[in-house]
Homo-oligomer: A and B are copies of this chain.
Amino acid sequence: MPTSRKLGRGVAMVGAGMSRFGAFAGKNSRDLFVEAFKEIKKSVDKELDPSLIETLYIGNFSSDQFEHQAHIAPLLADAVGLLPRPATRVEDACASGGVALRQGVMAIASGLYDVVLVGGAEKMTALNTAAVTEALATAADVPYEIPAGFTFPGFYAAMASAYMHRYGMKSKHLMNVAIKNHDNAALNPNAQFGMTIQNWMEGRIASAVKKGKPKPTWSTIWDFLHDESGNPTVAWPLRLFDCSPITDGAAAILLVAEERAHEFTDHPIHIIGSGQASDSALHGRPGLTTIPAAKIAASQAYEMAGVTRDDIRIAEVHDCFTIAEVIASEDLGFFAPGEGFKAAEDGMTARNGAKPINTSGGLKAKGHPVGASGVAQAVEVWKQMRGQAEARQVEMDIPLALTHNVGATGSTCVVHVYERRN
């Protein structure tokens, strides 16, 4: 098994920013990345001299397919005035952002660089939903899985139904995850869906009335979520509100060698653990109710950080579908196998629960511009750990936090642990 060695030197996050997430006609990856970079500049406590930035790592899943534009790393470097810095794109499907972060950490630990910009960007909405679904399906094991008719909603639906069968979960339990993540996103000004499901339902009712259509009879969000016209089935047992949306967005963080953090801020966030693992695609695995690569990546990250799962106060996890959050909360060791859905039901993962998960709104409601998602997770951790998450700030002190980013159904998983020391 791969060893979990220590990094050659410490790495700190000293800035973080993201564009708004959503559907933005007329904006491409470059425009979105420029927005994220502007936010990063605002986030650095002391004056940021961009010429100090020595290299860029960019997480991007497939600008080739979404924008007909490959080789975007130097284009993004150009867009933010960082030529001739080396600019490298990293791709591991929806884990591209988290893996780019890991490369940034290693680039500093290697001694080659002191100041590294890690970004993620994806422009997805120029294609229609069917074309996006097909592009995303290239992250599967294409010759084996696609001829069988699978796309990602189907993969995660298979995982959800296996989990239901094994642990007695009902599909309605998954809705607790969606409700919570929309509640959080309603307090996140950068979220694609900045509204609770209650807001959403009321909007649908108002719209029907306005158009002179029959007024829906939903009186609670549970009516709405159980109604095929409110929350249609995408791939049983997953309904619309179980699925993350198609999103345009970018995010960026600034990493520096630990000993230079003071030049940028008095309140850096240290990256003390990093783990990454690979696995076969879903068709080659012995079970569907856990993601083994997540367990391995988490155990590497915990070991490097010298912490346990219980030390982690908040986590941003990869909820591309609601079932993915449930499984993640178990794979990370927060809850026992089969207990994750109950923890969500009991409010343990809510913003003011014992183990808040996805305070940003998660991929589910903040949005999921795939290559940017892993970086945006670090942006949320940055804000929460420094007490800058405004209306969605968790109340407890957060000395330790975690991010968990998955590629495809878990062929890649990358986990990071963050520490605030003052």
Contacts and interface: CB of A to CB of B under 8 A. Distances in A.
Nearest to A141: B75
B28 A113 contact: no
Contacts of A28: 143
A77 B107 CA distance: 22
A29 B64 CA distance: 18
A103 B84 contact: no
A92 B69 contact: no
Nearest to A100: B88
Interface stretch (A54-62, A225-233, A331-339, A390-398): A54-62
Interface stretch (A237-245, A278-286, A358-366): A278-286
Contacts of A352: none
A88 B90 contact: yes
A2 B78 contact: no
A94 to B, nearest CB: 9
Contact of A5 (B111, B278, B279, B412): B111
Contact of A74 (B86, B108, B412): B412
A2 B82 CA distance: 10
Given A106-B107, A110-B110, A411 B71 contact: yes
B84 A277 contact: yes
> Which of A85, A86, A108, A135 gathers most chain B CB within 10 Å?
A86
A30 to B, nearest CB: 9
B138 A69 contact: yes
A65 interface: yes
Given A88-B90, A89-B91, A280-B78, A67 B142 contact: yes
Contacts of A74: 92, 278-281, 407, 411-412
Nearest to A99: B88
Interface in A254-294: 274, 276-281, 284, 292-293
> Which of A28, A71, A90 gathers most chain B CB within 10 Å?
A71
Contact of A408 (B71, B112, B412): B71
A65 B67 contact: no
A89 B412 CA distance: 11
A171 B295 CA distance: 59
A91 B71 contact: yes
B64 A64 contact: yes
A276 B412 contact: no
Given A88-B92, A89-B90, A110-B106, A73 B412 contact: yes
B90 A278 contact: no
A68 interface: yes
Interface of A: 2-3, 5-9, 28, 54-55, 61-62, 64-65, 67-71, 73-75, 77-78, 82-93, 99, 103, 105-114, 135, 138-143, 274, 276-281, 284, 292-293, 296, 407-408, 411-412, 414
Q: Which 5 pairs show the lowest CB-CB distances between chains A and B?
A: A8-B111, A109-B110, A86-B276, A74-B278, A71-B93
18 contacts: A2-B54, A65-B65, A69-B138, A70-B139, A71-B140, A75-B281, A77-B278, A78-B280, A83-B280, A84-B277, A85-B277, A86-B412, A87-B412, A89-B92, A90-B91, A91-B91, A109-B112, A112-B274
